[in-house]
Amino acid sequence: MFKLEISYQAILLIVGIIAGIWLLLKLWPILLMLLTAVIFMTALLPYVEWLVRRGLPRTGAVLIVLAIILAVVGGLLALLVPALISEFKHLHDHLPDDARRLEDFLDDFGIKVELQDRARNIDWNHLITGQAALDYGQRIFLTIITIVTVIVLTAYLLVDLPRIQRFVYQFVPPGREPEFERITESLNRVVGGYIRGQIVTSAVIMIFTGAVLLILNIPNAVAYAVLAGFVDIIPVVGALIAVFMPTVAAFRESPEKAAIVMAALVLYQQFEDRFLVPRVYGQTLNLPPVVVLIAILVGGTLLGIPGVLLSLPVAAAGRVGMDYVLERRQTALTPPGPPDQPLAPD
């Protein structure tokens, strides 16, 4: 006979775990926005502190930093969005002609494909229906609301950070404050350093892409350079977009220009991966390549594009926590050294 007895403490624990999981699922969008705001707060904190040390009130310093960032991002979007709309209109009007030119180009290399007929048979009215437009409008509206919420949360975190730190320190055991400060500094270095390093790499690819396209006189060169800077934030997939879109635009001018653009951007990706990124980030992330790939796949599977963007800073922060646990374990396992015995023989 098998007899199972469960105490009321165990029942309460199980109920609490189930309620916690349910609450986490319900509040996950809010937690995701809060996590994003914390990451941005960590990246912007050094600039806010720099302004505060020079006599500005903390609220004014936060507003100045956010205003500068929003002005820069808004200006870049003002360059990008009209160009993308123009490119989509060109694609809608001239897709069969572009497909024919691609057929002729591939035919020179002995590659036979039938693209013109397929392009001519595309039903744009079916692809762009009123319901689809409504769905995309709702997604854009929700995205705007999410971005505004993250900006407001970031501002509040930057302004109230001293008060938040005093509140958190109340729960730190006495004598463990230096250890807690060291962990906090490591997290700030990893997460903030990643965001600031990403800004540097995005700026470099933006300048390089714009220079190549302007030299070859490709239409909307500045817009494609801005696009390359934005998509460079997305690991793996962003590199493909940064190469593909300018190459398609250059192909409309001539196949030779498209080949030059593709070769130049592919070579730049190799330069960024092998030279620029290791020197910009240094030991900031300290993650093996396989961990980076797994983090990107898991983040993309669970949360889509936001998961891909947040996967690396979260993984790097997890590495800091793992290093802390392993360090404490190693300290606990290391036996103390022999006591000093001045009169002992050599």
Return the pLDDT at 344. Answer: 42
pLDDT digits (tens, 9 = 90+) for 11-35: 788 888 888 888 877 887 888 888 8
Q: What share of the chain is helix, strand, coil (3-state, %, to 5)?
A: 80, 0, 20
Tell me what percent of the residues of the chain surpass a pLDDT of 70. Answer: 75
HSE value, Cβ hemisphere, 13 Å, CA-based, for 35: 15
Helix 8-53 and helix 130-159, axial crossing angle in degrees, nearest 10: 70
pLDDT digits (tens, 9 = 90+) for 98-136: 667 766 666 666 666 666 666 666 655 655 555 656 676
Return the pLDDT at 215. Answer: 92
Distance CA 242, CA 340 (A): 64
pLDDT digits (tens, 9 = 90+) for 291-346: 777 777 777 777 776 776 777 777 777 777 777 777 777 766 555 555 444 444 44
- Global pTM value: 0.70
Return the pLDDT at 345. Answer: 44
CB 146 within 8 A of CB 61: no
Q: Is 42 helix (H, G, I), strand (E, B) or coil?
A: helix
Q: Is 114 helix (H, G, I), strand (E, B) or coil?
A: coil
Stated as kind and residue range, the H or E segment containing 117 is helix 116-120
Return the pLDDT at 282. Answer: 59
